[in-house]
Structure formats: C-alpha cells, structure tokens
Chains A and B, each alone.
Chain A
Amino acid sequence: MTADVSSSRPLVELKGISKRYGDLLANDQIDLVIDRSEIHALLGENGAGKSTLVKILYGVIEPSAGEILWEGKPVTISSPVEARALGIGMVFQHFSLFDELTVAENIAVALSSDWSLARVRARLGDISRAYGLALEPDRAVWTLSAGERQRIEIVRCLLQNPRLLILDEPTSVLTPQEAEHLFVTLDKLAADGCSILYISHKLEEVRRLCRQATILRGGRVVGTLDPRAKSAREIAALMVGTEVGEVRSGLPHQPRGEMLEVRDLSMPAGGLHGQPLHSINLSARAGEVIGIAGVAGNGQSEFFAALSGERTASRPDSIRIAGKNCGTDGIDARRRLGAAFVPEERLGHAAAPTHRLSENTLISHATAEVSRSGFILLDAARRLAQSIVRGFDVRTPESDPQARKLSGGNLQKFVIGREIIRRPKLLVVDQPTWGVDAGAARLIRQALVDLASEGSAVVVISQDLDELFEIADRMAVIHQGHLSPLRNIGEWTKEAVGLEMLGEAQVHGASHAI
C-alpha cells in the first residue's frame, strides 16, 4: 500500500449523485472528492443522507443519477463484491460476527478460500503490529469488547488491501480510550496510502482526524471544508441549519403539578450495542410538552424502556409517576398510574403485525374498558378500534384490518391514538413521526399539543429538531446517556442544540429539573 506520488488525481470522485425514493430525494446532486491518503469526514444529522450515499459507493444500492469516478475513470459499482474488487472496504455499524468462533476463524470465514487459518494467523500478527490492532487469534469473539470486535471487522477489510476504507459511525460502540486507539490506527493507515471516508456526527472526532469534511443536510451538500479551520459553531450551524423555529400556535398553558419525575437514573447497557444511562434527571409537569432531542444511538431507546418499565430501575424512587414511586414496577403498574407509552418500532413492538386493530387495542388497554375479569370484550375492543380510527383519521383498507396492512403513517396514527384516547396523565413517545408522511405527522403533532393543553404531561423523544421546536415547551438533549439541563424552548437556539448533540456543550454533567 504505497502512496502514488505521480498522480495528483483524486482517488474517488462522486459527481452529481442523486437517489430518489418516490417523492423523497435521499441524495440530491451530491459532489464528493476524496484524495489519496486522505481522511475525509462525512458529517450530518440522521436523515441527512449519509447512509444512502455510502451504500451507493459500496454497491449496495444504485444511484438514480450521477457518476462515480475511480482514479479518474468512470465505474459502476453494482455489488459489494465489485466494490471490494476495486479496493473499497467498509466497516458497518452492525458487525457480522460469530460469537462462538475465534478471532482467526471470524476473519477467515469472511475472506475467500485462499485464506487458510494459518495464513490468517500469520498476517494477523503483521497487521496487528503495524496498525495497533491488537487481537488474539484464538480468543472466542463473545469474550471480546466492542472495540476488539470492531478491530476484527477492520482487519477483515485490511487483509484485502483496500485503497479506500469506509467507516460508518465507528465510535458509536467505543469507549473514549478505544476511540483514541482507533484514531491512531486510522492515522497510520492513511499515512500508508489508504484513504478513509469517516462518517460521523461527532465534531470532536472529525476535527481530530480529518482535514476535509463534507457536510450533508436534507440530502444536499451544504459545505465542504477543513473542520480544523472552522469553529464548532459554524459547523454546527451548517449541520442543523440556522432558521428560527416556528412559534407554536395554541393557547399558552400554565404547567401544573409534576406528572413525571426522574431522579438520578442510571442504568447499565442492555446489550452489546446498548447505551448506558448516567444520572438522568428530568421532570415533566401537567400541561406541558417536554422535548428530548438527540442523534440516534445516544440512549433514547434505553431511556424509553426505563420510563415505560420494560426495563426496571434499581431504586423505586428513581422514577415517579403522578407522585408515586414506580422505578421498580413493570409497565402494567405504570399504566395503572395513568401513564401511556408509544415506542419507536411500530410493527413488532407497539403493535403485532399479524393481529387485527381490535386485538391490538388490548396491548395497552388490558386493564381498562376492553376486558373484565380476564375476559376480552370483543365488541368493546372493536368499537374502541373504530373510535381510534375515526378520531385520528386512520385510513384503513378494510374494517379492522391486520396491523401490517396499514401504511406507516396510518399505523402510527393508530398507535398514538390508542394511547391518547385513554386521556393519560403522562404520555411518553419515542420518535412520533419517524417515517410518517407529512399530513399524518402534522396530525400527530397537533394531537400531542392538544393532549398537553388538556392537562397531561407529554414527553417527546425525537431526532427531528424542527418538530421539537414546534411543539415543545421545554427541551433537553441526550448525548451518550447523559441528559443536558432542561431549558425553555425560547432559550434554545438550533446552534446550541447542535452543539449539545455533538458533545460540544458548554455546560455538561448532571442536570436539574427547572
């Protein structure tokens, strides 16, 4: 892997790449240039189009328009096999590993049949030393940390002599020390002539590693710059945009008693890719909407599970609903206290895909009016489903269809309506309008605001900053399992939120209810 001195031509050029999915333009005329030996960052929020672009480059999907030049020559990359043949390697966020097999076996099985275990072992020693990727060939993968597992994925790529290595949010599973270790490795790789495309939303890493960054927003390139030459604020502004949030219409309401109190909540990570929670404090009062902003993967799902009771805390007083301790109670008990929950995943979690809407009402209404002494009142369930359908404009292909027959937006309206119709004292929603069409999204947001103005406390976890600016009264940002202080929405600017999301906050650490 020696650097090609003679050519000042870039290694790869993406020209005018676009990708359209129906009405949605995931990538819009994107230009990207990566030089040899360069570590190039691809920055942007979720939904900005980073994954799509990278999948195009790795041959997983085809672009709708535009061309790719490899070393100056136009190429079509129609499969990962072709990408690898060109010299493109990719380390995904989710690893394809085999827990019970050893490191050497995991590497060998991913490579072609020329690679015997002996050969893998020999080369592994060389690569480990050269790039600081310490791995013991005979250890079983299930004993390894996330950082070590990632090294396996990296070695899988390196053994195929890549010219370009793509890493997708690589530090999302790493500790700060492991991340630093990774950066050392990447620096060495680049020095040896391998270009790197580094996808991230974390500004500090990007500045540490990269001299060039392309920033995406809404599917478009909004800036190509040297991250070290610009201030954090400027970059944050590019990432999240500088438009002022819309002033929310609706009656200003007086927040009243506290419906939800979270006190010093800490939880260990639930699994390999889980995020531990650290000393979270939060309060939500009746009549207000609390927004929790953050980029995906910073603890939102874990926080939701802790609030809903799907995962119980260690202390009963770490979570109080309507004034009662319930940290160690299950979801059933919390519903009985007047709380309602809407998880992120519609099919499989919020609703059973093959069950009818009437049956799906049972999921959260079991203790209420659709069942009595253990018996299901089928008629009541059907009527309830119908009122939800009517009240929330759910378009159904037939009366009482299976949940999976509804479109995303309609199912989401149903799932949220199912909870709102109970008039809960507290509603916690995770990603209320993700993957939902604009009309349904508007209806859902209005429903949340209306619920609050009628006296409920509403907590909205969302990656959509515009949405939160529209409906929230107070907001906090979650980052790596820590929650920032709550501030009134008027006191937040998009830049400030962006900084929090990127971990560049001025004030960090445990926050307090206001």
Chain B
Amino acid sequence: MTTFEAILLTIVTASTPLLIAALGELVTERSGVLNLGVEGMMAMGAACSFAAAVTFDSTLLGVGAGILAGTAMATIFALVVLGFAANQVGSGLALTILGLGLSGLIGAPFVGARRNPVEAISIPGLSDLPVIGRLFFEQDLFVYSSILLTIAVAFYLGRTRAGLVVRSIGENHTSAHGLGLPVLRTRFLAILFGGACAGLAGAYLALVYTRFWSPGMTAGRGWIALALVVFAAWRPGWILVGAYIFGAATVLQLHAQAAQFGVPSQLLSAVPYLATILALLLLSLRHGRAIGAPGSLGTPFVPDR
C-alpha cells in the first residue's frame, strides 16, 4: 500500500463519523429544529458504546448502546424544546454541556482499555481493483452503512410522502399546521433520529477510529457536523461531499505539518470553518435571503388555540 492509498484510507475513517452525525442533524433541521446538542450526544454515544463493548466484549452491543445513548439524550432535548417550547439555542447548548460531562463520568472506568479492530468486509472481485479496490470495497460495516444511510436519507426526504411532510413542516410550520399536518410529532421523531445518528457516530469514534475512550475525544466534531449541514445547503448528497472534504482537511493538515509546507497547518485546519462561512454568504447572495435553510428553523412551534 502506498502512502497515497494509506492517506485515502484515513480520510475515509475521518469522514465517516462526520457524515453520520451530519445526516442525522440534517433530518432534524429539515423538520425545523436546530439541535446544538450534537456534540454532547456524540460524546455520550462514544462513552456508552465503549463501556458496553468492553463490558460485554461485543462490538455489536456497543453500537447498540451508542445509538441508545444518543437517542436518550435526544429525548430529553425533544421534551424541553417541543414539550416546553424552551429556547432551542440554550437547550441545545445545555445538552452539549451535559453530554460532555456525563460521558466523562461514564467513560472514566474504561480509560486505558482497548478494543480489537473491527473487521473490514471485502467485496469479492471488486476489492482487487487497483487503488479504488481497497478504498471502496474493503471497508468495515460502518462505512458501508454511512453510504447507505446517505442514500436512504436522500430517498426518504426527496421521494417519500413522509419526507415531504417533514420538509413542509420545516419550511413553514404555520402553513403545515393549517393543513392539518402533525408538527410536534414529526419533529419529535426527527430529533430522535438525529440523536441516534449522533450516538452512532460517537460509537464509530470509540470503537473504530481510535478503539479506546478518552475524555474530549469528540474534539468538536459535533460542531463540524452542524457546519456541514449548512455547508451542504441542507442536501444529503452534498453532505457526503462535504464530510469528505472536511475529513480530508483534517487528515491533510497533519501530513502537511509533517511535510513542512510553507502554509501553516492551522490555516489548513481553518479551511472548513472559513468555507462554511463563505458557503453561507454565497447562499444568501444568490437568493437575497438565507436560502436553503428550512423556513421555520429554530422557531418554537406554539399552536394558537
């Protein structure tokens, strides 16, 4: 394997958790809810999945625990934001803080433990192709799932009636309510899905990316996932592209530092964030208002009866 191939493989590993978490947040935001708690949910996913995997010596159970943890956190968020119509920005941040702290508590007894690598699954024949063979067709289940998830989310949002309902509610919850669509129930399910994805992404981090738990291991990936959703103008296909761009930036800046290019590594690391701001700017210039964003994003829904 050449260095080039090795780099490509690490890009895949770096991008997968971003992709999964961003897809979940995409669905949540499409329904009109801004969830700033992704980072905390991801951390909980990482801690709980690692704890379960080590305790029961089962990666599968670990993954399940991670998803459950993310969903549980999301349930709290949904209760506060939908049930109490509390401020979404503050509530999301509270969940992040809670998740980071709680995950530290849960993961503490397992610091130092290590898990074995998750096996890659190769697709016979295809995986022997040069360069792309190993890259595309010899990955673990998580990576394949992330691609399938992208396709599934794209299909769900774009081609199913349920997805149409979600998008309508996110676009204009007043019109949606006027037409009799179930605003709160749809948002509740969308939030749970987002939490589950964040938990799954965390599980990937702890079980595959590093194969151990350490405090702070999410390292802001939840925030990047949030940025990704905006960068992709709320479209699943572009989230895939964006996740790999951001993942590549993360990996390349390490190598650039080692290779001692003239450009400081921090500048490379800053590219995704600057790119997000630029993307937001371009989006709103194109249409004269912040386009692409679901119309009722972040506004609490209080039906007037």
What is the distance, in angstroms, from B193's C-beta to the closest C-beta of chain A?
20
Structural contact, A105 and B179, CB atoms closer than 8 A: no
Total A-B contacts with CB atoms under 8 angstroms apart: 47
Minimum CB–CB distance for B72 against chain A, Å: 31
Query: How distant is the Cα of A101 from the Cα of B159 in the complex, in angstroms?
Result: 12
Q: Are A98 and B175 in contact (CB under 8 A)?
A: yes
Identity of the chain B residue whose Cβ is nearest the Cβ of A80 in the assembled complex:
B180
Cβ-defined partner of B161 (8 Å) among A99, A100, A113: A113
Q: How far is the CA of A116 from the CA of B161 in the complex (A)?
A: 7
Residues of chain A from 106 to 159 with CB closer than 8 A to chain B in the complex: 108-110, 113, 116-117
B105 at interface by CB-CB < 8 Å: no
* Cβ-based interface call for B187 (8 A): no
Q: Chain A's nearest CB lies how many Å from the CB of B251?
A: 35
Asked if B164 contacts A109 (CB within 8 A), the reply is: yes
Q: Contact between A96 and B178 (Cβ–Cβ < 8 Å)?
A: yes
Q: How far is the CA of A99 from the CA of B170 in the complex (A)?
A: 11
Is the beta-carbon distance between B175 and A100 smaller than 8 angstroms? no
Interface residues of B in 185-222 (CB under 8 A from A): none
Bound-state Cα–Cα, A363 to B205, Å: 55
**Cα distance A265–B255 when bound, in Å?**
65
B175/A96 in contact, CB under 8 A: yes
Is A307 in contact with chain B by the CB < 8 A criterion? Answer: no
Asked if residues A109 and B181 are in contact (CB atoms below 8 Å), the reply is yes
Find the B residue at minimum CB distance from A110.
B179
Q: Does A97 reach chain B (CB closer than 8 Å)?
A: yes
Chain A residues 56 to 88 lying within 8 A of chain B, measured CB to CB, are 81
Assess whether B171 is interfacial by the CB under 8 Å rule: yes
Q: Is the CB of A96 within 8 A of B179?
A: yes
Contact flags (1/0) for B102-144 with A, using CB distance below 8 Å? Answer: 0000000000000000000000000000000000000000000
Are A98 and B172 closer than 8 Å at their CB atoms? yes
Interface residue B298 (Cβ < 8 Å from any Cβ of A): no
Contact of A101 with B295 at beta-carbon distance under 8 Å, contacts A96-B175, A108-B161, A113-B161 already known: no
Task: Known contacts A96-B175, A96-B179, A109-B179; decide if A101 and B168 are in contact (CB<8 Å).
Answer: yes
Contact call B295/A99, Cβ cutoff below 8 A? yes
How far, in Å, is A146 (CB) from chain B's closest CB? 16
> In the complex, are the beta carbons of B295 and A100 less than 8 A apart?
yes
Does the CB pair B178–A101 fall under 8 Å? no
Looking at the assembled complex, report how far the CB atom of A193 sits from the nearest CB atom of chain B, in whole angstroms. 26
Question: Which chain A positions have C-beta within 8 A of B178?
Answer: 96
Is B94 at the interface (CB under 8 A from chain A)?
Answer: no
Known A96-B178, A99-B295, A100-B295: A105·B164 in contact at CB below 8 Å: yes
Give 22 CB contacts A-B under 8 Å: A81-B180, A96-B172, A96-B179, A97-B175, A98-B167, A98-B168, A98-B171, A98-B172, A98-B175, A98-B295, A99-B295, A100-B167, A100-B291, A100-B295, A101-B167, A101-B168, A105-B164, A108-B161, A109-B165, A113-B161, A116-B161, A117-B164
The 5 closest A-B CB pairs, nearest first, are A96-B175, A98-B171, A96-B178, A109-B168, A110-B179
Beyond A100-B292, A101-B171, 16 additional contacts (C-beta under 8 Å) are A96-B174, A96-B175, A96-B178, A97-B175, A98-B167, A98-B176, A98-B295, A100-B291, A101-B164, A101-B167, A105-B167, A105-B168, A109-B164, A109-B181, A116-B161, A117-B159
